[in-house]
Amino acid sequence: EADIYQTPRYLVIGTGKKITLECSQTMGHDKMYWYQQDPGMELHLIHYSYGVNSTEKGDLSSESTVSRIRTEHFPLTLESARPSHTSQYLCASSGPPGMDFGSGTRLTVV
């Protein structure tokens, strides 16, 4: 059973606002990931981390930033939200054997 939690589940926010999407896991996994996915479309890797104080950019250029101060916590921050940021954001952690995904945050920027 996966123990990875994302909050909020849904978020509607105005343009220019700063937001933080929360992601936590209780499995002690070192590797964590953020993916962006529009409905019915592919998963785009935007950030990943292989341990505390390590963060890397993914395949898709993103204006978001991440931090990894604790093993269990991997928040994603948008300093100034724009309508182009409207999407679903999926957090995942990876440990043997594979990757567990959270339920996602569906973000709408108006």
Q: Which residues bind other proteins (CB under 8 A)?
A: 31, 33, 35, 40-43, 45, 48, 50, 56, 58-59, 90, 94, 97-104
56 vs 79, which CB is nearer to other proteins?
56
Name 91's bridge partners.
Answer: 34
Smallest separation (angstroms) from other proteins to the CB of 26? 17
Residues 6+ away with beta carbon under 8 Å from 96:
none
Least spacing, CB of residue 15 vs other proteins, in Å: 27
Q: What are phi and psi of 6, to 5 degrees?
A: -125, 135
Which is closer to other proteins, CB of 81 or CB of 89? 89
Burial class, 96, CB count within 10 angstroms (exposed 0-12 / middle 13-18 / buried 19+)? exposed
C-beta of 93 vs 109, nearer to other proteins? 93
Q: In 3-state terms, what secondary structure has residue 49? A: strand
